[in-house]
Structure 1
Amino acid sequence: MTAIRRAIGLMSGTSMDGIDIALLETDGKNEVRRGPSGFVAYESAFRRRIEAGLGEAKSIRTRNERPGSLAAIEQELTRRHGEAVLGFLSDHKLSADAIDIIGFHGQTVLHRPLEKLTVQLGDGKLLADLTAIPVVYDMRANDMVHGGQGAPLVPVYHQALAARVPAELGKGRPVVFVNIGGISNVTIISGTADPIAFDTGPGNTLIDQWVQDKAGIAYDSGGTIASEGQVLTEAVGRYMAKPFFVLKPPKSLDRNDFTLEDLGNPELADGARTLAKVTADAILEASAYAPDKPALWVICGGGRKNATIMADLTDGAAKTGAAVIAAEELGLNGDSMEAEAWAYLAVRAVDGLPLTFPTTTGCDVAVPGGVVVGSRK
């Protein structure tokens, strides 16, 4: 019998807005007891430093390179994660000894699956020293060694959560978990088969870039700006004609694989509305790779708070008799799910269980991953 461990998961996603943190008690298999979660925001100056670092990261050719300011950013980012953990422990009156392992994602600054190259900033050893808790990090690399794309990694956690879906919602058909972060990805769960997972296209990234460039606004809160605009069908067509959409899964994206160039230069609301439609259409296209028409789409991540995206998803899914719900309607937390997943993956990593599968990343065989550092004094 696999031991139940108490793990903390840390996620800093492609939106680069801060650190999600979550506590999980799990055996890394079917037992999942969700605990408290939290969020530590990056101030705008640090976010800008990371954004500038993305440009410097384009010159990276081997995983350990840290050109320009990236080495300093990595140290600062790791220290912020350490402070987030210590603050979280204090807030919830927990000692470091009460935590068995930390799952540390770090900050992705480069993801080129065709080159078998993925780079996440984050010093696992430093984090272990700062928190006095063992850390699992670098969970994507071993997948690439075995022919995978290094993403997505969350699907095995989605599969564990799918047990919460009531039979009347699942209807014996596939259930799709959707994460709308900077990039959107899906996990298609059908019975006991391995999950099918892949990136679907842009999530919030292009919308964020658009409203920032056009109006100096960090993001379209609630989809309010988009709700006042019109869909520019020609621009939607340009995005949906991209070669990425004819690739069969598994497939994954770098944050910069889609740009604002295909949008043109419409007014603010029309641009936001059009990009919301692109996000939704790209997600719904995923149904083509399900073994049957999905019955339910469970939406996680920041994009579920964009009412315009959610309305487009609801309208599109209804055409095939499917329902769309936010994660909270299943008693889950759509903000902390990726952080929870990293806690879950950390426990699997410690026990040598597979993190990725041929149907999720394209790896040759189901493979474990992660580097474990630090130990109890």
Structure 2
Amino acid sequence: MVPSNISSEQKLVIGLMSGTSLDGVDAVLATFDPAPQTLADAYIPFDAELKSLLLSLNTAQPDELHLSARAANELSIRYAEVVQLLLAKANVRAEDILAIGNHGQTIRHRPDYGYTLQIGNHALLAELTGIPVVGDFRSRDIAAGGQGAPLVPAFHLNLFASDTQHVGVLNIGGIANLTCLPAGGGMVRGFDTGPGNLLMDYWCGKHTGFPYDKAGAWAKSGTLIPSLLADWLAHAFFHLPPPKSTGRDLFNPAWLESHELHQYQAQDVQATLLALTATSVANSVKIHLPEAEILYLCGGGAHNMALREHIASLLPDTHIGVTDDTGVPGDTLEAFAFAWLAWRFCQRQTGNLPQVTGARGERILGAYFPA
């Protein structure tokens, strides 16, 4: 139920996002009245123990209900820490905040079974911060027959749509997702294209000890393996029409290691993983927004220069930029989006795009946890 006693005077909202990459949590302080604007941001990394716990919860294991409840509480402590850091940076009081929009941490995403699970104890977060929390954004869309993801295309539409240009927005987190914004208000499409950083990060960590391949330098030292790329791209997911979404349930280390990679040089596998992300993205643009004039990148993968160059080589007629070029920081765009979704909830406005998620109609997304 949407609360009826929300103050109309409070115009500041916090958005929190901890994504598939499992690196940490982003927070933004934003306002949407009269227009979307970020006022401050903050970030804290996950420690190795929490990251390992969260990663383990992506697969079935003994006592996982207990482990997921523990992880949810630990996450909420981290969320509260980043909220306090954000408030201090912005010199803003908790009582000035309308709500926190908290995506939570996805540990299972199975819309084919009618559920998605993002953990994070919203009640504990409200208790720790003294700020109302809006969470569990994806469940209502799935209940209405949708994928529950991606939800950010509705926000991209508000920020980046053009009357004169065909625009794509590509978020490269652990998973990559694409928003297609045809010029002049055409049909908006949005869907997951496949792996973003998660497989590259895993392979890099395993073979170099570093959590990610900075600027794609290690991948550039390798040589693409065409047969392996073709084998990966034959996966059914890449050939499904939208609406579609995915996650670690499908693309994970076990899936990757099943391809007998011991026969290849490690840097060549990395080069091919980079090509997998770039090619699946480029193929999606060619099919669903073939007239794209500009593709804005955001998320951690936007910093991978080798990846950007590979995407550009596959889309020679499309300008490859970053959302920062428009004044919207790409590293915190998803947190900004979930602040917007919390704002929409508090204004009793819908947050999904049925043509993107496949839901039966527009829905108000989220559940409310008062302070």
Q: TM-score, normalised by structure 1?
A: 0.90
Q: Distance in 2 between matches of 1:340 and 1:53?
A: 26
Q: Distance in 2 between matches of 1:313 and 1:176?
A: 13
Aligned to 2:357, the other structure's residue is in SS state: coil
After superposition, residues 285-296 of structure 1 pair within 5 angstroms as 285-290=283-288, 292-296=290-294
Distance 1:4 1:186, change over 3 A: farther
Task: Name the aligned partner's letter for residue 79 of structure 2.
Answer: H
Task: Name the aligned partner's letter for residue 248 of structure 2.
Answer: R
Task: Name the aligned partner's letter for residue 334 of structure 1.
Answer: G
Measured on the aligned residues, the alpha-carbon RMSD in Å equals 1.9
Which of 331, 337, 343 pairs up with 1:341?
337
Determine if the alignment matches structure 1 residue 42 to structure 2 residue 40: no
Which of 252, 256, 261 pairs up with 1:264?
261
Aligned length in residues: 358
Aligned to 1:346, the other structure's residue is in SS state: helix
1:32 maps to 36
Q: Distance in 2 between matches of 1:3 and 1:88?
A: 21
**How many Å apart are 1:189 and its aligned residue?**
0.9
After superposition, residues 40-189 of structure 1 pair within 5 angstroms as 40-56=44-60, 67-163=65-161, 172-189=164-181
2:5 maps to none
Q: TM-score, normalised by structure 2?
A: 0.92
Contact 1:215 1:268 in 2 (8 A): no
1:246 maps to 239
Q: Distance in 2 between matches of 1:329 and 1:247?
A: 32
1:89-133, Cα deviation, whole Å (9 max, x unpaired): 112211001211110011000001111110011111111111111
Percent identical: 33
2:222 maps to 229
1:106-162, Cα deviation, whole Å (9 max, x unpaired): 100000111111001111111111111111000000001100001001111111111
Distance 1:370 1:221, change over 3 A: same
Which of 7, 14, 17 pairs up with 1:8?
14
Distance 1:160 1:295, change over 3 A: same
Distance 1:291 1:269, change over 3 A: closer
**How many Å apart are 1:314 and its aligned residue?**
0.9
Aligned to 2:356, the other structure's residue is in SS state: coil
**How many Å apart are 1:330 and its aligned residue?**
1.8
**Greater Cα offset, 354-363 or 9-18:** 354-363
Aligned to 1:120, the other structure's residue is in SS state: strand
Q: Distance in 2 between matches of 1:352 and 1:274?
A: 46
Contact 1:180 1:203 in 2 (8 A): yes
Distance 1:291 1:298, change over 3 A: closer
Distance 1:292 1:279, change over 3 A: closer
Q: Distance in 2 between matches of 1:114 and 1:39?
A: 33
Q: Distance in 1 between matches of 2:142 and 2:55?
A: 25
Task: Name the aligned partner's letter for residue 299 of structure 2.
Answer: G
Aligned to 1:178, the other structure's residue is in SS state: strand
Determine if the alignment matches structure 1 residue 368 to structure 2 residue 339: no
**How many Å apart are 1:23 and its aligned residue?**
1.2
Q: Distance in 2 between matches of 1:123 and 1:360?
A: 28
Aligned to 1:298, the other structure's residue is in SS state: strand
**How many Å apart are 1:292 and its aligned residue?**
4.9
Contact 1:86 1:131 in 2 (8 A): yes
After superposition, residues 208-219 of structure 1 pair within 5 angstroms as 208-219=201-212
Gaps of 5+ in 1: 60-64
Task: Name the aligned partner's letter for residue 168 of structure 2.
Answer: V
**Greater Cα offset, 34-43 or 149-158:** 34-43
Contact 2:195 2:277 in 1 (8 A): yes
Contact 1:176 1:189 in 2 (8 A): yes
Which of 343, 353, 359 pairs up with 2:355?
359
**How many Å apart are 1:256 and its aligned residue?**
3.3
Q: Distance in 2 between matches of 1:36 and 1:132?
A: 19
Contact 1:214 1:268 in 2 (8 A): yes
Q: Distance in 1 between matches of 2:260 and 2:153?
A: 31
1:253-312, Cα deviation, whole Å (9 max, x unpaired): 021312313372322221111101100111112224436511110000000111111001
Distance 1:154 1:99, change over 3 A: same
Task: Name the aligned partner's letter for residue 136 of structure 2.
Answer: D
Task: Name the aligned partner's letter for residue 348 of structure 1.
Answer: R
Determine if the alignment matches structure 1 residue 328 to structure 2 residue 320: no
**How many Å apart are 1:173 and its aligned residue?**
3.8
**How many Å apart are 1:53 and its aligned residue?**
2.2
Contact 1:173 1:293 in 2 (8 A): no
Task: Name the aligned partner's letter for residue 178 of structure 2.
Answer: V
Q: Distance in 1 between matches of 2:94 and 2:187?
A: 35
1:19 maps to 25
Contact 2:219 2:271 in 1 (8 A): yes
1:62 maps to none
Q: Distance in 1 between matches of 2:197 and 2:66?
A: 27
Q: Distance in 2 between matches of 1:341 and 1:250?
A: 20
